[in-house]
Amino acid sequence: MADVEIEVAGDIQTPQQKQKSATGLDFLQLPQLRLNNIGYPQAHEWIEHRKANIRPWSVFINTSNIRPPPSFPRLSKRIVRNIEYFQSNYLFVFVGLVIYCLVTSPLLLLAVTASLGTCYKVSQRHAKQELMVLNHKLTLAQVYSLVGICSLPVFYLVGAGAALFWVFGVSWFLITLHAAFYNIDSVLCPGEDELNSLVMQEV
């Protein structure tokens, strides 16, 4: 019998594996939202920009950098620098408090879900045919505003005002507390504290 040679050629592509974060805090990352596919490219770009500017959570919650401010002028500068550096992380903290407030308030969660569902249904109908009120064509933003105005009484009945004040109050307290006591100089200018202590000892 004659030997039969079969040539096998081609490139074998191995599936790409997701790189694991060194911090082990992947669950804190924002989910992938494809808002540009449903007509919101600006919102998609803003979310991608916020995600790109999130600082490592291991740095954000590093307790070794928690130190009281040395003076009041340094305190104000520290707060401003922390807010500029950790602004995306602070936004994530705010969103987390909003989600916590919705989960712990079933009626508020139901009202928000109903309002968002109405906006989604109205946007689908608006894509097929523009809505008219008194022979005036409404834009999508005007339709959303109308749905929001109609939802205000429901939000008032389920206690959305108290929940909103709670979220803003707790967010302001936590963010101000972190920004006031987190020594941002140890992150942006490592070694500066040791240099200052040496100078103080020599003096």
- DSSP letters for 95-132: HHHHHHHHHT-HHHHHHHHHHHHHHHHHHHHHHHS--E
State pTM to two decimals. 0.65
pLDDT-wise least confident of 35-49, 89-103, 104-118, 189-203: 189-203
Give the H or E element holding residue 178.
Answer: helix 160-181
Distance from C-alpha of 165 to C-alpha of 67, rounded to nearest angstrom: 29
Higher per-residue confidence, 34 vs 192: 192
Q: What is the mean pLDDT of residues 129-153?
A: 81
Give the three-class secondary structure for 66. strand
Asked if residues 65 and 31 have their Cβ atoms less than 8 Å apart, the reply is no
Gyration radius from the chain CA atoms: 26
Q: What is the mean pLDDT of residues 43-51?
A: 75
| 36 has a pLDDT exceeding 50 | no
Distance from C-alpha of 102 to C-alpha of 176, rounded to nearest angstrom: 23
Mean pLDDT computed over every residue of the chain: 77
Which pLDDT score, from 0 to 100, does residue 139 have?
A: 81
| 44 has a pLDDT exceeding 50 | yes
